[in-house]
A and B are shown apart, each in its own frame.
Chain A
């Protein structure tokens, strides 16, 4: 258990092991505030500090009010920030809820490797769930279409996993600046026992007082990053030195250009369409998801600083590479109403 060896936290709240306070304040992190070898990390600027404080407040409130919270972990940069904030919120304790990854079977292999590395490093309870029906029917975004694939392997799988785990609260990394229907999402977003979201009848949310009262079977999705923008996410990753999957950084990758999207072409299941030319070039991804649905961008930004520099002059939004948003107008809202995160 490498996390333990480096001074990780207690595994259970009851505290089977007694530790000195000193041990408990040491923790696994890229930056170790207690090491004398490292230069002190500069404090966060007030803007990021305010966002961080708000997110920690939400994490603690949900953890205290709900019986069985879970954190949706999608391995991307927002999930990475979310995980970092969760570790901060409950320090010196460990994260008091499991992380749930909905694996569609079509994630980039680099994502899966990164996920497992994080779970081990930070001593996390990781639950990986794949829709058994989808898996047995070998559902693929190529043969079944992106919309059906997403419905079954993501939306339906999520519903199944939440039901199976009897989770009454699920943290997600969604931000209001991502997409128009998200701009109206509450921080505590109420869901019926069927996981439906009724955007026209949301509970009012005043100040930072959240209403966590639900009946049996109902649940909330909680969004600690609601007020963050994409730039905030990147600046926070930089300031806090948060590890990210390597897909965010440019490197030579094989790809094809399909429907205006740069599709990664190194998976054994990839087949080029007639007339398609597999190219190789410096590519990175602004968001991560299923590789057949997540377009890359041509970029040479191979470090965090370069990625941020590129982002600050970017003129297209990060979801631009996502097939799901382009299927039809209002498609995100529709998916959300059906239970998509």
Chain B
């Protein structure tokens, strides 16, 4: 054992046993918190106590820095900040991915900086996450930052939160403090529509309730440790619904074989199923599912497969093969939410590339509203969406587009925006609905004018539904008398 070996941890029951066959997919999670909340210490502790850090890496840590905390452990932040600029400046500048495993499950952690540009990096990390750990300092309680992080996480489709009330040792393991913070947080989570919340009091520094339980210090807490919670969390299950196969490539190794290769993005498929090819709308039946190992009887969401159809149909990369029942939305106009990722922001009426699944097509983006993160409210906004802004937008395509709502399918409802001038990825977005030209009150550039008493007008204009459709209707504040007169005129 080297000098940097853990001095406090109880002998490890976890890593001594050989990893058994894991019965689940890796859980992807994101950690959110400010630097001072002890995020690096928490992740370092997770890696350390699950034996994901090897001795030579630990030795390199103590070589790179003489800093050690008062428990004789290395400075975990150095383990995490891999880039030279980060070590020099002592900050984390980019999303990093960490890996650890227990004997029950493996984990992929998107470790995002708590600093500026948090939105962009958080959105990136959250896009693939099943669960978010929100870290707060027990002494400080919930901060505006906590609300921001929770809002972004829920927006990106994360339905499971863990509230890590860290540094509980610094408030003398006070149960009342923990209860208050977790109560406040659960209210916040509920307001975002997140029901699955686990709150855990912990000391990441001392390793209490992270991997090992902290019962000795906190006999009043009978909940699970962080790792137990993560072991029991569910991997994303929003890929329910109809079968979806975005076609990545057509495999034609010989004249007698033609297969469509892609990853199932929703539902399941078996030989004999009738399918539709979108956007063309052609119909065929599945004759075989081919993989390297064997010809399969069925494939489910997540499987990378090769599909063989029973007839010659025109299918190419970018098309989507879907079940005949429960088809995705097709159209030229969609509503979406997006996160602007680059300094240039997202400009109205500029033509961008949109990539979703294997399909890339031209799109024009019209900003409608911007999310005010401090209050969680949407504000009307039709100008350029600046970097880190979260906006509601209208997408307008030249050619037919195919989407599910992100709520229904995190794969076929997601897209990225690419700037044709720089080829850079400038936004990530989620489709909320298809826009119809005939339904609703919208009609070819015309707007509906509502003349309402002032109090009603104000209330309507503040509503989310109105904000989202601002370009379709105008509200004019008038007195009740004038409104009456206008109505008479209409009659």
Question: Hey, which bits of chain A sit against chain B, CB under 8 A?
Answer: 9-10, 13, 15, 17-21, 24-25, 27, 29, 33-34, 41, 45-47, 49-53, 56-57, 60-61, 63-64, 87-94, 176-177, 179-184, 199-200, 202-209, 211, 213-215, 226-227, 229, 231-232, 235, 309, 312, 314-317, 319-320, 329-330, 333-334
Contacts and interface: CB of A to CB of B under 8 A. Distances in A.
A200 B93 contact: yes
A207 B97 CA distance: 14
Interface string B252-286: 11111101011100000000000000000000000
Given A184-B97, A200-B83, A312-B18, 4 more contacts: A91-B291, A200-B94, A206-B124, A229-B99
A92 B294 contact: no
6 contacts: A18-B254, A46-B23, A181-B83, A183-B97, A206-B123, A207-B128
Contacts of A34: 294
Contacts, number: 211
A203 B257 contact: no
Nearest to B264: A53
B293 A18 contact: no
Interface string B350-370: 000101111000000000000
B142 interface: no
A21 B60 CA distance: 55
Nearest to B294: A33
A320 B56 contact: yes
B143 to A, nearest CB: 25
A57 B263 contact: yes
B82 A47 contact: no
A27 B425 contact: no
Contact of A45 (B22, B56, B303): B22
B96 A183 contact: yes
B292 A91 contact: yes
In the A-B complex, the 10 residue pairs with the smallest Cβ-Cβ separation, listed nearest first, are A180-B82, A93-B253, A56-B304, A317-B54, A206-B428, A15-B254, A206-B127, A88-B292, A213-B423, A64-B249
Nearest to B63: A329
B82 A57 contact: no
Interface string B1-38: 00000000000000000110111111000000000000
A320 B81 CA distance: 19
Interface stretch (B173-181, B407-415, B448-456, B476-484): B407-415
Contacts of A235: 19
Nearest to A320: B56
B81 to A, nearest CB: 8
A141 B327 CA distance: 61
B292 A183 contact: no
